[in-house]
Structure 1
């Protein structure tokens, strides 16, 4: 190899090493660890929605949720459970589905809060989950 090619290869290798180092040090290992714990939980794994920690900032874990003031809970339930699509709001099956959602979100919050680096949980609507199922969420609110 000539001198130019050697220097060029050395610079490329240095850039690659710096990029890898930046990625490793900026990864949120705590969030990844908590997400792995959530995935291993048998009850949460059996639920059609996956709660995920997006980030942890100064002890506050931001977690995805299908619930929001912008999305009626019935929209989530009818999307996650197609068998409820035509069930009236006051039907016992719909009530049971709402109670299960509350229980699953509470379970996720408890698991997340049990981690030493988390002092609070903040919920964030999971727009990606809805859009992947063809549900539009008005982001203007």
Structure 2
């Protein structure tokens, strides 16, 4: 192997090793995994059709996925997880009960996170991937 090829190969190898290191560092998040385990192992949350997941944890703020937001109302989401609600008005008693059930599950997810050491607050992030997977495009 000539000198140029050897130097080029060493440089390319170093760049690849550095890229691999930074990729591994950015994906290695044991704190997030441990907090997410709190959500996924809770029996009450596990029984709900939508699984709340921890998306990120930074500076004491836990970011949890949610199927609703000001831009995407719960009304639309609930018709997906409860097909019997399709076409019902927002003030229908069954729709109101389903909305309250969603609120109760969100509060439980928030409470579980806030009970963990180091968690100071909770933010919510719309789960656009879940919505897209279920045919909902906002």
Please classify the TM superposition score into its range, dividing by the shorter chain length: 0.7 to 0.9
Alpha-carbon distance in structure 2 between the residues aligned to 1:23 and 1:116: 27
Alpha-carbon distance in structure 1 between the residues aligned to 2:17 and 2:116: 32
Q: If the length of structure 2 is used for normalisation, what is the TM-score?
A: 0.81
1:51-130 correspondence to structure 2 within 5 Å: 51-130=52-131
Instruction: Give how far 1:26 is off.
Output: 3.8
Instruction: Give how far 1:117 is off.
Output: 2.0
Alpha-carbon distance in structure 2 between the residues aligned to 1:120 and 1:21: 31
Instruction: Give how far 1:36 is off.
Output: 1.2
Equivalent residue number for residue 7 of structure 1 = none
The secondary structure found in structure 2 opposite 1:70 is coil
Alpha-carbon distance in structure 2 between the residues aligned to 1:112 and 1:18: 34
Alpha-carbon distance in structure 2 between the residues aligned to 1:111 and 1:54: 15
Alpha-carbon distance in structure 2 between the residues aligned to 1:131 and 1:19: 31
1:50-88 residue CA offsets vs partner (Å, 9 max, x unmatched): 111111111111111112011121001111211111222
Bigger shift: residues 92-101 or 23-32: 23-32
Equivalent residue number for residue 3 of structure 1 = none
1:96-116 residue CA offsets vs partner (Å, 9 max, x unmatched): 101100000000001111111
Segments of 5+ residues of structure 1 without an aligned counterpart are 1-12
Alpha-carbon distance in structure 2 between the residues aligned to 1:96 and 1:33: 32
Instruction: Give how far 1:20 is off.
Output: 7.0
Instruction: Give how far 1:22 is off.
Output: 5.1
Change beyond 3 A, Cα 1:73–1:20? same
How many aligned residue pairs are there? 136
Equivalent residue number for residue 29 of structure 1 = 30
